[in-house]
Amino acid sequence: MEEATIKKLMTSAKCSGCGQRYEIDDIEVIGHHDELWFMSVFCMACHAHYLVAANVDEETAGEVVTDLSVAELEKFRDADGLKADEVLDMHDFLKEFDGDFSRLFSGRKA
Ligand SMILES: [Zn+2]
């Protein structure tokens, strides 16, 4: 999976704040851990800044993505009707994660 592909996928996602679609230039790929990609996105329309985690399977590429800030992940954890496993996985991941992206993406185990 290429960064450019991920970014392209992300342009089909909308800002959870205002519904504006992201532009390629608004998306910065931070890195990935297996199929879990982290991006920083900035909405030009409402100036919201989100950390996005996308669980992207090579075979199902095109299925998007989790467009939530870390705080929102907390909020949605208990929400009714939430079926997106990747959100829950991400929550568990973040719970364990100490925020050191550089170490995460260097491939070393914590
Ligand atoms: Zn927005």
Domain that holds residue 61: 3-105
Confidence of residue 54 (pLDDT cuts 50, 70, 90): confident
Single-letter code of the amino acid located at 79: A
What pLDDT was estimated at residue 6?
Answer: 84
User: Is 92 among the domain residues?
Assistant: yes
- pLDDT tens-digit series, residues 63-107: 444 555 555 555 544 444 444 555 556 666 666 666 565 655 555
User: Is 110 among the domain residues?
Assistant: no
What is the whole-number distance in angstroms between the Cα of residue 53 and the centre of ligand 1?
17
| pLDDT over 70 percentage in the chain | 51
Burial of 34 (0-12, 13-18, 19+ CB in 10 A): exposed
pTM above 0.75, yes or no: no
What is the whole-number distance in angstroms between the Cα of residue 46 and the centre of ligand 1?
4
Protein residues near ligand 1, an ion, with CB under 5 A: 15, 17-18, 20, 43, 45-46, 48
Domain count, the chain: 1
What is the whole-number distance in angstroms between the Cα of residue 64 and the centre of ligand 1?
17
User: Is 45 among the domain residues?
Assistant: yes
What is the whole-number distance in angstroms between the Cα of residue 99 and the centre of ligand 1?
25
User: Is 16 among the domain residues?
Assistant: yes
